[in-house]
Chains A and B, each alone.
Chain A
Amino acid sequence: MQATELIEKLKETLAKDISDFRIVTTEHGLKKNRAYRVWAEVSNKKLKDVVKKLFSLQEYPHFSVSSGVDTGQNIEILLHFTLNYAAPKEQVLLTLRVKLPKKRPVMETITDLIPGALISEKEKREFLGIEIKGLAPGRAFLDDSLAGVFPWRKDKKGANKIAKNLHTGERIEQK
């Protein structure tokens, strides 16, 4: 399948569930081969349905990772998928953006659909302090002694100090 064809199907399949759909293309090499990046926003409630629908486009949609950003009022989780892989030059990089209100940053796990999302979801839980319903317990990266500190948060819950010259114990405040 061509990338453009897949993007059309994606648009059709997810039309009711997504907003802010945009396609960014870049050109590479002498032959000006095109790479397609697709961005879309999805509500927290519909996220799981949208991920389920991706399975109608590809037997195993490849979940690459999720990124997380503290934007002040919200915590944005961006789920990056690669679709149409194994089709030379026709892969589409899809990013689904979910905005979680900081007052109640709760979302559902997708590990029941895509087991490979486990580490990524645990990372978001540890680094951003979000709750992921249905996600297996246990920490993947940070030591238990760091519970309660969420390094990627830009508020008081984040890591606002950095150790400088470890042997002197000096610490500097970071903006």
Chain B
Amino acid sequence: MNKSKKCSISIGPIHPALKEPIQIEVLVEGERVKDASFSLGHVHRGIEWMGLRRNPIQIIYLAERVCGICNISHPLAFCIAVENAANIRVPERAEYLRTIYAELERIHSHLLFLGVAAHELGFDSILHYIWLIREKVLDVIEYLTGNRITKAVLMIGGVRRDISKKQIPKIKEMLAYYKKAYEKLCEILLDDPTIKLRTRDIGVLSKEEALKLCAVGPTARASGVKKDTRQDFPYAAYADLDVEAITPDVLLGEIRGDVFDRIIVRLLEIKQSLELIEKCIKELPEGPTLYEPVLQKLLVDLKKVDNEGIALVEAPRGELIHYLRMQNSETLFAWKIRAPTYANMHTIVPMLKDSELADVPIIVASIDPCLSCANRAVLADKEAIIAQEKIHELCVKKTLKIKERLKRWEHV
């Protein structure tokens, strides 16, 4: 191939190297990426628009469905924003419980990322090993909340499910399990020469770029920006726990802002989450778990609110914001969600520049993009919807056909 000839390659929106739909266009010269751009908007569902037609309690469950992974972070940010607007003080026990649930979520999200990263590097045995380890935290989440994924534990003014003393040993058992597993994970991810070869000095994001592009979460911290909402902006029980933003120099004494550093940060944050859960269990105060247990009364009170509220939460991928406005009505007047991937998307452009084409998947995966979070917009009544309807119609027909066939088999 003529090296001097530049050509553009489109990756996505649906591509084997991507786990969610996003379109990335790279301009390559030979195997070297010279420039990159991206476009979002391939998984619009109209979450905010739908939210404006529901009451605040109904929205909690809608907010959970913004993201399949951060379904504590989104409802938590929403609840804090409502509490901020309505001037509701959450009981201390509920704040500690919220912290435990949020940290359990961080552990499973970071383990999910580490598995995906291994997969993007071609190490599927590590992917399976890490996701096997991840099952433990999902089991504990199910044990505590009744569900592995959409937990439905949060409520405006507190939490819906308490953690009893009887349940604590199971959490402690999980902590002990992960302390052992953590050593093994470090050995696999940090000492393997091939992983280092594929990730060291690959997809570099300088501190200055991270700051200019307003990066958040592990992506920013891996470049040396000590920004962590849990550390900087007190919410739930975090300020009691004295959380420190983790940067890669803690482990290796240097910051390079590459893919390897982003793996290190998430690995260290798993350990940090285990310590935070341990502290929370130890210091869990007694008391109520809800500001107002009668939901009808809570709804009546919320209907009288004429104010706006805003909340910041450190989701596994970084700073998450929910802004809302209430105007003496059953429904909200405005609701805006800004998920961390939305902020981090800009950073993939400098990361991709001057990289090898083969490294594009792992570089994109290294910001742990969650595109369901980034895309929440509405679709409108125009031509574009027709195609979707037709596709859906075919899907429904096919499902009905399969159902019929299954029925026939049942009789046999």
Tell me how many residue pairs across A and B have CB atoms closer than 8 Å: 182
* B73 on the A face (CB < 8 A): no
Find the B residue at minimum CB distance from A67: B336
* A26 on the B face (CB < 8 A): yes
Find the B residue at minimum CB distance from A63: B214
| Chain B binding surface SS class | mixed
Find the A residue at minimum CB distance from B237: A29
Stretch at the interface among B57-65, B151-159, B173-181, B383-391: B383-391
Find the B residue at minimum CB distance from A114: B214
Find the A residue at minimum CB distance from B244: A88
Would you call A146 and B384 a contact (CB within 8 A)?
yes
Q: Which residues of B from 337 to 367 have beta carbons under 8 Å from A?
A: 338, 342-343, 345-346
- Tell me whether A69 and B334 are in contact in the complex, defined as CB-CB below 8 angstroms, given that A89-B232, A166-B389 are known contacts: yes
**A69 and B48 alpha carbons, distance in the complex (Å):** 12
Partner of B377, one of A85, A117, A142: A142
Interface centre among B53, B346, B377 (most CB of A within 10 A): B377
B21 vs chain A, min Cβ distance (A):
13
* B242 on the A face (CB < 8 A): yes
* A143 on the B face (CB < 8 A): yes
* B44 on the A face (CB < 8 A): yes
* A37 on the B face (CB < 8 A): yes
B289 vs chain A, min Cβ distance (A):
15
Find the B residue at minimum CB distance from A150: B380
Would you call A33 and B240 a contact (CB within 8 A)?
yes
**A142: which B residues are within 8 A, CB to CB?**
41, 44, 377
Would you call B380 and A118 a contact (CB within 8 A)?
no
**B215: which A residues are within 8 A, CB to CB?**
116
Would you call B336 and A29 a contact (CB within 8 A)?
no
Would you call A27 and B346 a contact (CB within 8 A)?
no
Partner of B238, one of A29, A86, A116, A163: A29
Would you call B336 and A68 a contact (CB within 8 A)?
yes
Would you call A140 and B232 a contact (CB within 8 A)?
no
A-B contact pairs, 20 of them (CB 8 A): A26-B83, A28-B235, A30-B283, A62-B214, A64-B343, A69-B325, A82-B232, A89-B239, A115-B346, A116-B215, A119-B40, A119-B342, A139-B39, A142-B41, A151-B46, A159-B46, A159-B378, A161-B380, A166-B388, A166-B389
Question: What is the interface of chain A, defined by CB distance below 8 A to chain B?
Answer: 24, 26-31, 33-35, 37, 59-60, 62-65, 67-69, 78, 80, 82, 84-91, 93, 95, 114-120, 123, 127, 139-143, 145-146, 149, 151-152, 159-163, 166-167, 169, 171, 174-175
Question: What is the interface of chain B, defined by CB distance below 8 A to chain A?
Answer: 39-41, 44, 46, 48-50, 53, 83-84, 89-90, 92, 95, 211-215, 225-227, 229, 231-240, 242, 244-245, 283, 285, 310, 312, 319, 321, 323, 325, 333-334, 336, 338, 342-343, 345-346, 375, 377-385, 388-389, 392-393, 395-396
